[in-house]
Amino acid sequence: MRGVNVALGAAGLAAFLALGEAVPRLGLVKEAYFPPTTRVADALAGELADGAFWTALGDTLTGWALGLAIAAGAGIVVGVVVSVVPYLREATASTIEFLRPIPSVALIPLAVLLYGTQLRSVLLLVVYASFWQILIQVLYGVQDVDPVAEETARSYGLGTWARIRHVLWPTALPYVMTGVRLAAAVALILAITAELVIGAPGLGARIAVAQTSQAVPEMYALILVTGLLGLLINVGARTVERRALAWHQSVRGEVAV
């Protein structure tokens, strides 16, 4: 089953790359603006041989990982606290719904003013965008706690911490993992966008330099790298999710079928 999936996935990607080669070659799009896959691959080889590319990749991954970690930590803690403390949920609900839709990129001027073009500017945007993803999932997860289980735990005399640990957390974990998986993708997009727009060091800044330099194949090569990075991050997040939830019926059921 797994082998077939991988083969199908690879076939899809190969077809896409072939299309990328054919479209400009057939003259549907001008080669100058959309170079064929082979020329992009050439440019990619050039990038891979350049030390500065690896530094940029490292910068982007640092911004992504650090931002995601901060957002996950803060999202989980805030989510649990808001849910557990009486009235806090009602008191914060409208504020959360007000702040959540604000696009992270709208905060770029603020980020520049506070931190210039440094990593912290990227982190501000990444954390802002991915924090809500995780927080909302944690809130939903806590809401899903079976009241009977909760009451049972109470009548057995379990304290607040024990109830969080044994009742709330196992119920919320699948939601938390979904939140982290979504946030991982959002964090990557925001890290690269921030670099692209602000100019903080990383793949995004490299794309921007290629763009303003009219180096079109290099630009697409770098865009391809960001796509691959997204793919890897998604695969990684799914793996972590499967491992962490191996005990949960949603994952166990999948294996049994």
Q: Are 79 and 139 in contact (CB under 8 A)?
A: yes
Amino acid, res. 237: A
Q: Tell me the three-class secondary structure of 165-212, residue by residue.
A: HHHHHHHHHHHHHHHHHHHHHHHHHHHHHHHHHHCCCCHHHHHHHHHH
Q: Are 168 and 153 in contact (CB under 8 A)?
A: no
CB of residue 10 to another protein, shortest distance in Å: 31
Q: Are 200 and 122 in contact (CB under 8 A)?
A: yes
Q: Is 208 in the site for another protein (CB under 8 A)?
A: yes
Tell which residue, 140, 125, 130, has the closest CA to residue 74: 130
Amino acid, res. 190: L
> Residue 3 or residue 51: which is nearer to another protein going by CB?
51
> Residue 190 or residue 198: which is nearer to another protein going by CB?
198
Q: Is 187 in the site for another protein (CB under 8 A)?
A: no
How many angstroms separate the CA atoms of 160 and 158, rounded? 7
Q: Give the CA angle between residues 234, 4, 184 to the nearest 5°.
A: 5
Structure token digits, residue 46: 């050039």
**Which positions from 85 to 114 touch another protein by CB under 8 A, shown as an x/- string?**
-----------------------xx--xxx
CB of residue 3 to another protein, shortest distance in Å: 27
Instruction: End-to-end CA distance of the chain: give it in Å, rounded.
Output: 11
Which stretches of 26-159 are DSSP H helices? 37-48, 51-84, 88-99, 108-115, 119-143, 147-155
> Residue 66 or residue 136: which is nearer to another protein going by CB?
66
- Contact residue for another protein among 44, 126, 184, 218 (CB under 8 A): 218
> Residue 153 or residue 244: which is nearer to another protein going by CB?
244
Binding residues for another protein restricted to 104-163, rule: CB under 8 A: 108-109, 112-118, 120, 123
CB of residue 4 to another protein, shortest distance in Å: 29
Q: Is 212 in the site for another protein (CB under 8 A)?
A: yes
> Residue 196 or residue 237: which is nearer to another protein going by CB?
196
DSSP annotation of 154: H
- Contact residue for another protein among 185, 197, 223, 251 (CB under 8 A): 197
- Residue span binding another protein (CB under 8 A) among the ranges 17-25, 84-92, 140-148, 240-248: 240-248
> Residue 87 or residue 247: which is nearer to another protein going by CB?
247
Interface residues toward another protein, by CB under 8 A: 30, 32-33, 66, 69-70, 72-74, 76-77, 108-109, 112-118, 120, 123, 169, 173, 196-199, 205, 208-215, 218, 243-244, 246
